[in-house]
Amino acid sequence: MKTSNGSFFMGIPKVSLAFLTVVIMFQQMILGSQEPACHMNDLTALKGFAKCLEPDIGGWNWSSSNCCSFTDIICDNSSDIYGRVVGLELGNKRLTGTICESLVGLEQLRILNLSLNSLHGKIPANLFHFRNLEVLDLSNNYLVGPLPSAIHLPSIKYLDLSKNYFSSFISMRFCTSSSHIQYLDLAHNFFGEGSIYLENCTSLQYVFLNGNGLSGTFPEDLFRLQHLRVLHLQQNQFSGPLSYGIGNLSNLVELDISLNDFSESLPDVFGRLRKLESFSASSNRLTGLLPASLVNLASLLRIDLHNNSLDGPIRINCSAMAQVTSLDLASNNFQGPVPASLSSCQSLRALDLARNKLGGVVPFEFRNLNALEYLSLGNTSINNISTALEILQHCKNLTILVLGLNFYQEEMPSNVNLQFTSLKALIIPVCHLRGSLPIWLSSSKMLQLLDLSWNSLRGSLPSWIGKFEYLFYLDLSNNSFSGEIPESLTGLENLVHKTALLKESSEHFSLVKSKEQGRPRLAYNDVWSFPPTIDLSRNMFSGPIWPSFGNLKNLHDLSLEENNLSGSIPDSISGMTSLEVLDLSRTNLSGEIPRSLEHLSFLSVFNVSYNRLYGDTPSGGQFMTFPESSFDGNQALCPRLLAPCQRKQIPPVVSPGKKMKIVDWNFGIGAATGFLLTVFFCFKSGWVLPKGRVCRY
């Protein structure tokens, strides 16, 4: 789920919040050290409020009648409302239960923060009638229902109801009474069916309406909000063209309208948005050229227009847009060539032009892109991989390079002088590249991910392939590599010791190529999870499966299918305790399936079909969950549930009902552990490049 990404700007209201708190505390100091006794009304209100909560709020001692001494409660120390509760700071206190009506008794409340709890149910109607309330944060709970129809919060400045289950606005005409509101966050709710009337909220600076299923055209009343700095409308169903009215929002710093259904061309009004730093309109149905005012906008730092139908040349004017750091124009109909002028964007750190009809070669001038860390030119019909690599090696900060689906049938350059010292991910699949695994790769000591699958590379794998300290994802599938699998692979540091991977998790990227039914899906997504993988399938490798594969405790996916191996499956490979996928089908293996594989409790895909295996089929652990087809085509392998092996005998009748039950039960466990593991792993490793990045080839 995408979250609002305005941390820098969002900091500003927090500052004023802190200021407010400081002011309140300062007033208290002036009044000296005497602690105010809490007002009886407030004590009653708090008691009622606390009754609806579980567990008790630690630090609220009901034997004491002075609620001002309770933790997380702020009382006023100034003379006129001395001893009244003005702040309730109960964010992230693991509270469950509901918000009781009696809370409304805290009539002097200025700050109410109940965010990041597990509160549920509807909110009391009168909650929106606090005369002095300035800050209301109910975000990240399980609150439901429509908002109260009458809203009277004349002092409200900051209202955050995001990440709840609120539904339609009955009336959001609240700016007739709440005209001072500066910050409004309604993101990630179900406000889709209501309407929002914000035309009179002229003080609004921050508006988050993303993730609500809102529809209709761009809400025109927003164009009157001259102070707007951040506007997030992404992940809704807004449609129609973008109106010229956007030009009215001359204070806008951040505009995100991605993941909607906006169509037609972008209005040429960006010249009036002189403060705009970040513009995202990805995944809409925008067409036409890039407006001149957009490509000349000096303030812009980040542009994300991927997955639209924009066309014409990519004519970013780097002289005007000197500060731009991130440019994502992938998946459009832009036409080539790859513009050499982009090399003047000296701050560019991420450039994604994948899936456009560019053609030509990587421009010579790209060698000057000194800040470039991420480059994707996948599926852009460019040619000459030798030239591309010669040039790009000069980009000393290049970390991720995606060039797949280009260079049809060219030769992989073997030039020993090529050097990519910062490279962490090299992704050049589906190019029909000829040649061998290039020696220059061995100097990329930082390499974590290598995908050269679906090419026509041949020869044997050199032993240096196992010497990368950080490599955890190796996909060389569907090439013509031959010879033995280098034993050094079984010593890959990052697959033997999890620690190296954890260390890497503080770095800035991760990648995954997901497989759908065994076939790679040719897209890398922006929320990347990545199972540690060795995929050497569909080559011509010979020789044994080394017993030392068992050392790869951190390996999740070992795919060796369709090779011409020899020998048997070593017992020791059960040492790969994290293994989820083990595919050894069509590898010409003989011998028995080691029983010890039953101990691989995360194994969810197992295939040894079409080999020359014999003996018992293990049936413990995850084995009952694997389909018969996992074992097909092994003449002498006994079916499961026959122990001891009664080769060439008719299997005894097993009551189908009973068998099904066992299968179901085991499958449940297997699927659940597999899923948990995946989730766990995603969490552990799921951090990415600067936000909004999409890496595809």
Closest CB 521 distance from ligand NAG, rounded Å: 9
Beta strands of 489-648 (E only): which ranges? 515-516, 519-520, 533-535, 540-542, 557-559, 581-583, 590-591, 605-607, 612-615, 636-637
Task: Say how far apart CA 69 and CA 55 lie, in whole Å.
Answer: 19
Q: Is position 60 an interface residue for ligand NAG (rule: CB under 6 A)?
A: no
> Binder to ligand NAG among 126, 167, 265, 317 (CB under 6 A)?
317
* Interior angle at CA 282, CA 279 and CA 285, nearest 5: 120
> Binder to ligand NAG among 542, 572, 590, 601 (CB under 6 A)?
542
Joined tokens for residue 335: 């036409």
Q: Partners of 458 in the beta sheet? A: 480
User: CA distances (Å), 222 to each of 237, 243, 331, in order?
Assistant: 17, 11, 30
Part in contact with ligand NAG (CB under 6 A); list of ranges 94-102, 219-227, 609-617, 673-681: 219-227
> Binder to ligand NAG among 63, 417, 517, 655 (CB under 6 A)?
63
SS3 content of the chain, % helix, strand, coil (to 5): 25, 20, 55
Nearer to ligand NAG, 200 or 442 (CB): 200
C-beta of residue 462 within 8 angstroms of C-beta of residue 438: no
What are the φ and ψ backbone dihedral angles of 171, each rounded to 5 degrees?
Answer: -145, 125
Task: Say how far apart CA 184 and CA 226 lie, in whole Å.
Answer: 15
Task: Say how far apart CA 168 and CA 316 lie, in whole Å.
Answer: 41
Closest CB 259 distance from ligand NAG, rounded Å: 7
> Binder to ligand NAG among 319, 414, 415, 505 (CB under 6 A)?
319
71-110 positions binding ligand NAG, by CB under 6 A: 74-75, 77, 91-92
Closest CB 192 distance from ligand NAG, rounded Å: 17
What are the φ and ψ backbone dihedral angles of 671, each rounded to 5 degrees?
Answer: -60, -40
> Binder to ligand NAG among 280, 376, 478, 574 (CB under 6 A)?
478
Part in contact with ligand NAG (CB under 6 A); list of ranges 25-33, 547-555, 622-630, 636-644: 25-33
Q: Is position 413 an interface residue for ligand NAG (rule: CB under 6 A)?
A: no
Q: Is position 28 an interface residue for ligand NAG (rule: CB under 6 A)?
A: yes
Task: Say how far apart CA 325 and CA 372 lie, in whole Å.
Answer: 9
Helices (H) and strands (E) in the chain, counts: 7, 41
Task: Say how far apart CA 601 and CA 208 lie, in whole Å.
Answer: 44
135-174 positions binding ligand NAG, by CB under 6 A: 135, 137, 158, 173
Task: Say how far apart CA 85 and CA 24 lie, in whole Å.
Answer: 11
Fill in the per-residue mask, 245 to 274: x = in contact with ligand NAG (CB under 6 A), - = not in contact. Answer: x--x--------------------------
Closest CB 513 distance from ligand NAG, rounded Å: 12
174-213 positions binding ligand NAG, by CB under 6 A: 175-176, 197, 199-200
Task: Say how far apart CA 260 and CA 281 lie, in whole Å.
Answer: 8
Joined tokens for residue 617: 């089929």
Q: Is position 33 an interface residue for ligand NAG (rule: CB under 6 A)?
A: yes
Q: Is position 590 an interface residue for ligand NAG (rule: CB under 6 A)?
A: no
Contacts by residues 613-619 (CB-CB < 8 Å, ≥ 24 positions apart): 613/569, 613/589, 613/637, 614/590, 614/647, 615/591, 615/645, 616/592, 616/642, 616/643, 616/644, 616/645, 617/593, 618/593, 618/594, 619/643
Q: Is position 285 an interface residue for ligand NAG (rule: CB under 6 A)?
A: yes
Fill in the per-residue mask, 520 to 539: x = in contact with ligand NAG (CB under 6 A), - = not in contact. Answer: --x---------------x-
Part in contact with ligand NAG (CB under 6 A); list of ranges 220-228, 593-601, 609-617, 673-681: 220-228
Q: Is position 223 an interface residue for ligand NAG (rule: CB under 6 A)?
A: yes
Closest CB 144 distance from ligand NAG, rounded Å: 20
Closest CB 499 distance from ligand NAG, rounded Å: 23
User: Which residue, judged by CB position, is nearest to ligand NAG in the bound state?
Assistant: 91
Part in contact with ligand NAG (CB under 6 A); list of ranges 62-70, 124-132, 464-472, 631-639: 62-70
Task: Say how far apart CA 445 and CA 507 lie, in whole Å.
Answer: 15
Q: Is position 23 an interface residue for ligand NAG (rule: CB under 6 A)?
A: no
* Interior angle at CA 563, CA 559 and CA 566, nearest 5: 105
Give the length of the chain. 697
Q: Is position 115 an interface residue for ligand NAG (rule: CB under 6 A)?
A: yes
3-state secondary structure of 285: strand
In the complex, the residues that contact ligand NAG under the rule CB under 6 A are 17, 25, 28, 33, 35-36, 61, 63-64, 68, 74-75, 77, 91-92, 113, 115-116, 135, 137, 158, 173, 175-176, 197, 199-200, 220, 223-224, 226, 245, 248, 283-285, 296, 307, 317, 319-320, 355, 357, 370-371, 379, 384, 386-387, 397, 405, 410, 432, 454, 478, 522, 538, 542, 564, 566
